[in-house]
Amino acid sequence: MLNIAGKDKAEVFRRLYNAARTKQTKLQKNEKGEKIPVPKELTYKEAVALLNRQKDSKGNLPPIISRLGDRELHIDLRGEELDETQYDNKNGWETAEKALQGL
């Protein structure tokens, strides 16, 4: 469990989203003409907007944000602790902890 008490939930969400593995990516060509994946990074402003769209009519976040776009998150931002188990299962060992370092 990671302590997220007092942390900006939009910033937590942004960092976890950006650290998550992508399932499908936009393709871009490098200087050799080879296609390379380029995942989109989420800005803080976009994170706030996405979280607001996830809220119900009372302003509460859903119990679990499972997937958003091409990223599998499996996170619950409602409490003061984040159980990173499912997130890390999908995105790599200790990915959540590394993403939130320095926050």
pLDDT digits (tens, 9 = 90+) for 25-59: 555 555 667 765 555 889 999 999 988 988 889 99
**For tokens 């990915």, what's the residue?**
95
Confidence (pTM): 0.83
Dihedral of the alpha carbons of 16, 99, 90, 79, in degrees to the nearest 10: -60
DSSP symbol at 16: H
Angle CA 82–88–90, to nearest 5: 125
Average pLDDT over residues 9-34: 79
